[in-house]
Amino acid sequence: MLGGFMSYFGGRRDPKMSSRDAIVTLRQQLQMVEKKEEYLQKKIEEELNKARANAVSNKAAATAALKRKKVTEQELERLQGTRFQLEMQVNTLESASFNSETMAAMKKATSALKDIHGSFDINKVDATMADIQEQTQLANEVSEAISSTAYTGVEVDEDELRQELADLEQEELDTRLAGADHVPVHHPAGKVTAKPAKVAELDDEEAQLKELQAALAM
């Protein structure tokens, strides 16, 4: 793993190593650095505890512990700088990989658009849209013509219509009255005489005529 890492950052790079493999390698190295940092941090705490324990009874031992602590702190500081550089490399590679994949997707989409628009002609598109608008307008006009009333364009005098209807009603009443028999039939008291069938029919028509007159008078 370390060899792969060194080959990546050294003069000899593996041309077949993908960005994904490089990111994996860097992250593995970061894990090793973090473990080393944990070890150094514990060593610093141990040396500090030794210095405290010998600060009164054994100053030479305490001083030696403090020196080892200082050396370890410097090593930890350098290691933290290395970790920062590794993290920057990971971020840069991830960003570059993302940009590369984005550009590849955009290039593929552009190629697809070219294939789709390859047979298009803007003049033909404009002509097609004009035809669509023309046919849509024609369809609307046809629909309006079909749904319009059959009496469109004919002037009608409403007062004249009402007068003509009244004349027809009066003519019908006159016809019915002319055919009715208004002569009453007299029968002696106490004697019930059956009406002839013709008279009974006329009386029925007269009753219907009166009902019609009453309805028209309302």
pLDDT, residue 1, reads 45
In this structure, whether the domain defined by 2-117 belongs to CATH 3.40.50.2000 is answered with no
Per the prediction, the chain carries an average pLDDT of 78
Q: Establish how many alpha carbons lie within 13 A of residue 194's alpha carbon, considering only the half-sphere containing its beta carbon.
A: 3
C-alpha 182 chain-centroid distance? 83
* Cβ atoms < 10 Å from Cβ of 26: 23
Give me the mean pLDDT over the 181-199 stretch: 51
- Give the helix/strand (H/E) hosting 75: helix 59-117
pLDDT, residue 161, reads 76
Q: State pTM to two decimals.
A: 0.44
Q: Establish how many alpha carbons lie within 13 A of residue 159's alpha carbon, considering only the half-sphere containing its beta carbon.
A: 0
In whole angstroms, what is the distance from residue 31 CA to residue 158 CA? 100
**Given a cut of 70, is residue 92 above it in pLDDT?**
yes
pLDDT band at 216 (very low <50, low <70, confident <90, very high): low
User: What does the pLDDT look like over 145-158, one tens digit per residue?
Assistant: 777 655 555 566 78
pLDDT, residue 148, reads 64
Sign of CA dihedral 72, 77, 83, 86: negative
User: What does the pLDDT look like over 4-59, one tens digit per residue?
Assistant: 544 445 555 544 457 788 889 899 999 999 999 999 999 999 999 989 999 888 98
**Given a cut of 70, is residue 75 above it in pLDDT?**
yes
